[in-house]
Amino acid sequence: MNCIITGASKGLGKAMAERFAAGGYHLYLCSRDAKTLATTTEELATRYPTVTIHSRPADMGEKEQVTAFAQWVSASGATVDVLVNNAGQFIPGSVHNEPEGVLEKLIAVNLYSAYHLTRHLLPAMIARRSGHIFNICSVASLQAYPNGGAYSISKYALAGFSANLREEMKPHGIKVTAVYPGAAYTDSWSGTGVDPQRIMTAADVAEMVFTASRLSPQATVEEILLRPQLGDL
């Protein structure tokens, strides 16, 4: 079994890579940070020697690099059993005053990366009539909030992509799950003063994604919504 994860060098992506490796999946990972990706790959290979960890640096906000990553996965001959479109970027701001170009940048990273990678890998999945696609959205996909700006817009768009793709893939036996995580403690929260006990762990999200991937072919989890026990920050 194989799992492809984008944005996998740290945070939620790394947590999901760890969980799927522990579950016996061979991994195909990418991240725009080549150094951190190499470190993560080495860590996982050491911890899970019975599975193979493949990785390739890629900036998923650049269509050419998305294509190159997709071709690299396809050339390996690996079946796409699980695809996790996790690559994403957050830039705070408001529509009326965020810098010019922020929307285009976040749409490219948070939406187009998933769209183009999925399109490249789908033909083989359709031919096999199997596979599970997880799109890592956000609670920002469901509820507008101050300073959300272009980020929230891009995540709403990813949720829409997920809903449309799910309907299209039903006749082909391919599952599509939209994941809406609230605040989970990752490197981006370090130094903010937020108590790690106040919010979720990245492993919480990873466990839910892994569990949803293990259902029988006739069952699917269409959406996963996770929030801290005490609610959003």
Supply the residues annotated as catalytic: 151
**Interatomic CA distance for residues 164 and 52, integer angstroms:** 33
**Interatomic CA distance for residues 86 and 13, integer angstroms:** 6
- DSSP structure string for 24-81: T-EEEEEES-HHHHHHHHHHHHHH-TTS-EEEEE--TTSHHHHHHHHHHHHHTT---S
Half-sphere exposure of 107 toward its Cβ, with a 13 Å CA cutoff? 8
Tell me which amino acid residue 211 is. T
Residue 227 in tokens: 């929030």
**Interatomic CA distance for residues 131 and 40, integer angstroms:** 25
